[in-house]
Structure 1
Amino acid sequence: MKHKELAKEILELVGGKKNVNSVFHCITRLRFKLKDEAKAKTEELKNLDGVVTVMKSGGQYQVVIGNHVPEVYKEVAAIGGFSSNQSETDEEEGRDKGNLMSRFIDLISGIFTPILGVLVAAGMIKGFTALFVALGWINNTGGTYQILNATGDALFYFLPVILGYTAMKKFGGTPFLGIVIGSALVYPNLSTLTVGEPLYTLFAGTLFESPVFIEFLGIPVILMTYSSSVIPIILASFFAAKVERGFAKVVPSVVKAFLVPTLTLLVVVPLTFILIGPIATWAANFVGQGTIWVYDLSPIIAGLFLGAFWQVFVIFGLHWGLVPVAFNNLATQGYDPILAMIFAASFAQTGAVLGVWLKTRNQKLKTLSAPAFISAIFGVTEPAIYGITLPKKKPFIISCIAAGIGGGLIGFFGTKLHVMGGLGVFGFPSFIHPEEGMNTAFWGFLGAILLATILGFVLTYFFGGVNKDEAPLEKNDSTAKQGVTINSPLKGQIVPLSEVPDQVFASEAMGKGIAILPTEGRVVAPVSGTITTLFKTKHAIGLTSDEGVDILVHVGIDTVQLDGKHFAAHIKQGDRVNAGDLLVEFQIEKIKEAGYEVVTPIIITNHSNFASIEGTTVKAVNANDPLIKIKVPEEKHAEASENIADVRA
């Protein structure tokens, strides 16, 4: 139910389902493509309980949720009626019109995001299989190894099949056509045709020299290895989607269901083997060798740069631009240095969050830091970045510095990624060399990770300015002993709670308190504390005082039915307020004309925590006049004093 309510609010605040061209999700984010981003209420979305932050990047409106994004996405899809086939494929209406970089990022994320979960799973299995062999727990000739290796390796070997599905879906074609095209590329019988003498050789004496073993209708076919490849199937799918749409326009409807896919496959598959595949493979090899050449110029400088700026790339979604390069390196070179050098970034962030967690005096920040730290250990750093370090600024900068140092050290040791594996600590086995095992490069990698974590923690703890804006108070339990005074949030006439025309309030089912018949439409803060609840209808405000008193100010009876009409809020949920600050304004006469009572209960919802609650004996009050006196039990003096010091700080 919590996920369902959050999904409803998110969909409403992005402008409703009619404003959504498509939506899908990655590990932590809902990725919307909106018709008009101006209709989205970004600040209100950011303040939703359950939303970490909102980002706009790569032509996408990204709502960062965290670890529960799959559950929220399911509810968003169900409420909005978004089918799985709609996700990223609206050719006519939803096509991104952004700049070239935005379109490229959107393309890559749309193709790779749907398989991230299973990709991580397969990589983890491959990585841990290599670890078990290196530790001598299993041997690489036994049945256990063979089955584990097949389980982990299947996705990577048949990657063209899987990417055929996601790429065709992204380009607006029929996904199952992409599966067939990808399957043809890795069809096992074709690999046996390269045995023996070739018929002849094309481009002899050049970089593109290629033996020809078969022909198609007299046209030479250059057979290549397409297992684990990326670029050929993406280009083939792009072309296939165009061809399919072309045939769909001219083929009669009565035979379209089977004739369009037949003609599409007859055109695209041969063309892929004859032209698209070889050209894409040569291009992939060139990109792979070029990347390694740049890396070899100075692995240390490359590591320093990528490590330091990786988290910035992630914030703006630019990291997707390096994903196909890394995949391509694994396919063409058998390893990738790029994702190895950035691996220290998540651990530098982990160390920085730990520093904030142990250093901060702010209880709310301390509470948020614990789950963010745990998520970061497992490679999911968005809660740490957006919820903890980035708002504090210095801890985020420190984490980037620590990540740069870690990346430079990884470059120095020449560590390579040998399989696209898990995140965080689950990714360690991905760096074990498949033949050499845990070599110097692997141990150097672990040392760099440890150093980045320690630097992130130590520098944040001592120099991160965690408590810069959190001035501490001396511990003093005099407030607790003297009791707590709740001031009047309104000007008006006092009404006993028992006379309120609502049985829930009158019976004290919500808590003890008092009511006011307002003569002025202004609600001010009755205490210094935090806005813990602000209903979207603005008629009810929940506050927690610095001393730990929970207060509900409910303007009128059944005024929730007005859906915010005649109310104006000057604060938002989570705000820190001082006694007397203006919270909400409301139009008394308009509310009465609509047929609603304006009598306003002021309720102490956690009244059972206190020894006594005494309301004022006067008949009328002004805003900020003493209204309710609360006495704290003797045994709670110390606890209340801690609350005063911690919460105010």
Structure 2
Amino acid sequence: MQNLKLTSPIQGKLIPLNEVKDPAFASGAMGAGVGIIPSEGKVFAPFDAKVEVLFETKHAIGLTGVNGEAILIHIGIDTVNLNGAPFNNLVNQGDTVKKGDLLLTFDIEAIKKAGYDVTTPFLITNAYDYNEIIIENDAQSLIAQADKQTKIAEEKSDETSAPDTANNEEANDKYANLSKEECVAAEILDNIGGKDNIRSVEHCATRLRLILNDKTKINEKAIENIDGVKGQFFAAAQYQIILGTGFVNKVYDVVIKQTGNFNSNNKAEAYAQMSMSQKISRTLGDIFVPIIPVLVATGLFMGIRGTLMSLGFEFSDNFLMISQILTDTAFAFLPALVTWSAMKKFGGTPVIGIVLGLMLVAPQLPNAYAIAAGTVDPLYFNILGINIPVVGYQGSVLPALILGIVASKLQAYLKKIIPDVIDLIVTPFLTLFICMILGLLIIGPIMHTIELFIFDAVKTFLEMPFGIGGFVVGGLHQVIVVSGIHHVFNALEIELLSSTGKDMFNAIITGAIVAQGGAALAVAFRTKNKKKRTMYISSIIPAFLGITEPVIFGINLRFMKPFICGLVGGACAGATASLLKLAGTGMGITVIPGTLLYMDRLPAYLLVNFIGLVVAFILTVVCFKPEE
């Protein structure tokens, strides 16, 4: 077997494939490769090749080289949902290209603004043909191995029972006269409850994505054993079956041909199938996730400043003032960020949201922090005999959230009734005027009162004696992640940071996250099959970077006992965090990256993570038996 050396098709930072935040790519199920964090939106041909696949959405391209190299370049994660908007193809499917030819361009900022990760998996889909694969650019060189190029789809664990020969012979007879893609499509349909169980179907570069009416009809083990299927899992209310570049198109075409043209708007269908709590969580996630990076950066600034000061560094007044600008600005104008994101989510004009948020923290209003300190009194408006306090809402979340939603709905209504000729002037004027009155006199006071009540209740629960609150949250957090409603905690963490400057919730859940990684590590330790063990480890690494979906859906939930052991480990770690009163200076990052938020209490943070990891690992080693 020969070696293969390829130049990165995109300028940017190379990262190991298992750090890509998508379980299908990170696990190596689609082949060996690397992730690329692009610095410019251009894709070049890494060798002389033919364009085998170019998706209509232009987010992915597959090439076959003159020497047999087969590669897939998938720009971003889940960017198929953008329907080609930020992409521009300069070649077409079937074209012949030379090394260095420009194939595609894409708008990095547009992809990020749409809420998608731009990390680009660069895969060698026939990696098993090579002994060693090296991907390099001007600054880096990475070995792109995927279990020594062994095809994961062909792995057979030495811990599984022997196949049912009679059933296999019957299946072979049933599909004897079908092509490969027809056979795979037929077997998939047989094992998902038939075509009548399909509500919606579409595909991306590598996966068949199904929305099903009844999930209980799925025979997951049978689907995993289909020759041609490289994995399956649930994500975002979709049942996703990994088939591979090019082949997924063929299977999709067969499914459509056999079942008819289904509604292919999986995102809308997935949302329609969610429970009310899941819909609320998804909505809150769509609103708060775009502003989290700013708060993460703010938390890191606070952590660095606190660490330096704890080490005895002395700073001038001017330097401290500059550092306070870095750490305080995002929270001082937090309502503007929230109203902007809420307006954008609900179809309003984002700049109107920004202005409304700034009105909530206008310097003419009494500052919320000064009122809390008792140095300033609220303004009072007497309306119908009722004294209504008017204050600034620095660091507040709920008033800005509700005001942003109300403003977007009001703007949409005004656009329907106001003639187009004056819409540009009248609609923004009325939206701002009405919402300013509502925000300062009605929505603000009511929502702020509710916000304080909720915050005090949550804070009291987390600070319960003997670490009870941390034990409960740490034990249940990953169950909530599986249910898909964990985004509701974004608002809670933002409120904790804006009100106290610390995030105790982050300290609790980091133990829950590392515990799932510890449980999966124990599964790999107990697994005798080397191929399986290597695949498991590739899914475990992201858990120690704060991403548990690969280990939860790929390992722990499949065997259940490791998942439960991970919950116990998370509960123990959460209780420890509560007992130590541990809290981070920011949010959004945990486990290894999260150390930057705890530099002033690093030993306590390491202890919490150690307890979660060790408890989950030991329990799993004791309870999990691979032969079961």
Question: Secondary structure in 2 aligned to 1:468?
Answer: coil
Of residues 258, 265, 272, the one that matches 2:439 is 272
Matching residue of 2:627 = 468
1:323 aligns with 2:496: no
Change (3 A) 1:402 1:332: same
1:206-248 CA-to-partner distances (Å, cap 9, x unmatched) read xxx9742678999976333422211011111111112212221
Determine the C-alpha separation between the residues in 1 that align with 2:394 and 2:478: 31
Q: CA deviation at 1:100?
A: 3.0
Question: Secondary structure in 2 aligned to 1:38?
Answer: strand
RMSD: 4.6
Matching residue of 2:361 = 186
Matching residue of 1:360 = 527
Matching residue of 2:298 = 122
Paired residues of 2:518 and 2:613 also in contact (CA < 8 A): yes
- Higher deviation after alignment, 296-305 or 158-167: 296-305
Of residues 607, 617, 623, the one that matches 1:447 is 607
Matching residue of 2:619 = 459
Matching residue of 2:280 = 104
Change (3 A) 1:64 1:113: farther
Determine the C-alpha separation between the residues in 1 that align with 2:369 and 2:504: 31
The AA in structure 2 aligned to 1:101 is S
Matching residue of 2:399 = 232
Paired residues of 2:342 and 2:405 also in contact (CA < 8 A): yes
1:288-328 CA-to-partner distances (Å, cap 9, x unmatched) read 11122333444522222211221111111122233323322
The AA in structure 1 aligned to 2:532 is L
1:483-528 CA-to-partner distances (Å, cap 9, x unmatched) read xxxxxxxxxxxxxxxxxxxxxxxxxxxxxxxxxxxxxxxxxxxxxx
Paired residues of 1:351 and 1:453 also in contact (CA < 8 A): yes
Of residues 319, 337, 340, the one that matches 1:162 is 337
Change (3 A) 1:238 1:64: farther
* Aligned residues with identical type, % of pairs: 27
Change (3 A) 1:132 1:174: same
- Higher deviation after alignment, 3-12 or 114-123: 3-12
Determine the C-alpha separation between the residues in 2 that align with 1:222 and 1:166: 27
Change (3 A) 1:134 1:9: closer
Of residues 53, 60, 63, the one that matches 1:4 is 60
Change (3 A) 1:213 1:250: same
Determine the C-alpha separation between the residues in 2 that align with 1:398 and 1:279: 43
Matching residue of 1:55 = 235
Q: How does 1:34-73 map to 2 (within 5 A)?
A: 38-40=199-201, 44-45=208-209, 53-57=233-237, 61=238
The AA in structure 2 aligned to 1:279 is I
Q: CA deviation at 1:148?
A: 4.3
Q: CA deviation at 1:462?
A: 5.0
The AA in structure 2 aligned to 1:456 is A
Change (3 A) 1:195 1:215: farther
Determine the C-alpha separation between the residues in 1 that align with 2:280 and 2:607: 35
The AA in structure 2 aligned to 1:4 is A
Change (3 A) 1:108 1:267: same
Paired residues of 1:89 and 1:172 also in contact (CA < 8 A): no
Determine the C-alpha separation between the residues in 2 that align with 1:316 and 1:424: 22
Matching residue of 1:395 = 562
Paired residues of 2:368 and 2:392 also in contact (CA < 8 A): no
Determine the C-alpha separation between the residues in 1 that align with 2:481 and 2:327: 27
Matching residue of 1:370 = 537
Question: Secondary structure in 2 aligned to 1:222?
Answer: strand
Change (3 A) 1:294 1:457: closer
Question: Secondary structure in 1 aligned to 2:338?
Answer: helix
The AA in structure 2 aligned to 1:455 is V
Determine the C-alpha separation between the residues in 2 that align with 1:261 and 1:10: 35
Of residues 379, 388, 397, the one that matches 1:212 is 379
Matching residue of 1:629 = none
Question: Secondary structure in 2 aligned to 1:406?
Answer: helix
1:289 aligns with 2:456: yes
Change (3 A) 1:10 1:153: closer
Question: Secondary structure in 2 aligned to 1:388?
Answer: helix
Determine the C-alpha separation between the residues in 2 that align with 1:121 and 1:194: 22
Gaps of 5+ in 2: 1-42, 44-52, 54-58, 62-71, 85-112, 121-196, 211-223, 243-264
Paired residues of 1:27 and 1:116 also in contact (CA < 8 A): no
The AA in structure 2 aligned to 1:124 is L
Paired residues of 1:220 and 1:274 also in contact (CA < 8 A): no
Matching residue of 1:646 = none
Paired residues of 1:390 and 1:396 also in contact (CA < 8 A): yes
Q: CA deviation at 1:389?
A: 2.5
Q: How does 1:542-581 map to 2 (within 5 A)?
A: none
Determine the C-alpha separation between the residues in 2 that align with 1:193 and 1:297: 27
Determine the C-alpha separation between the residues in 1 that align with 2:463 and 2:485: 23
Equivalenced residues, count: 414
Of residues 495, 515, 532, the one that matches 1:348 is 515
Determine the C-alpha separation between the residues in 1 that align with 2:527 and 2:369: 65
Determine the C-alpha separation between the residues in 1 that align with 2:456 and 2:274: 30
Matching residue of 2:308 = 132
The AA in structure 2 aligned to 1:447 is L
Paired residues of 1:45 and 1:51 also in contact (CA < 8 A): no
The AA in structure 1 aligned to 2:199 is A
Determine the C-alpha separation between the residues in 1 that align with 2:384 and 2:423: 26
The AA in structure 2 aligned to 1:121 is A
- Higher deviation after alignment, 226-235 or 336-345: 336-345
Q: CA deviation at 1:348?
A: 1.1
Q: CA deviation at 1:9?
A: 14
The AA in structure 1 aligned to 2:397 is V
Determine the C-alpha separation between the residues in 2 that align with 1:263 and 1:95: 32
Determine the C-alpha separation between the residues in 1 that align with 2:564 and 2:356: 46
Change (3 A) 1:398 1:291: same
Matching residue of 2:134 = none
Q: CA deviation at 1:412?
A: 2.0
What TM-score do you get using the length of structure 2 for normalisation? 0.56
Determine the C-alpha separation between the residues in 2 that align with 1:107 and 1:214: 34
Question: Secondary structure in 1 aligned to 2:569?
Answer: helix
Paired residues of 2:285 and 2:487 also in contact (CA < 8 A): yes
Paired residues of 2:502 and 2:583 also in contact (CA < 8 A): yes
Paired residues of 2:76 and 2:117 also in contact (CA < 8 A): no
Q: CA deviation at 1:64?
A: 11
Determine the C-alpha separation between the residues in 2 that align with 1:107 and 1:346: 23
Q: CA deviation at 1:195?
A: 9.1
Q: CA deviation at 1:132?
A: 2.6
Q: CA deviation at 1:141?
A: 4.5
1:607-629 CA-to-partner distances (Å, cap 9, x unmatched) read xxxxxxxxxxxxxxxxxxxxxxx
**Which has more radius of gyration?**
1
1:339 aligns with 2:506: yes
Tell me which of the two structures has the higher relative contact order, counting C-alpha pairs closer than 8 angstroms and 6 or more residues apart: 2
Question: Secondary structure in 1 aligned to 2:390?
Answer: coil
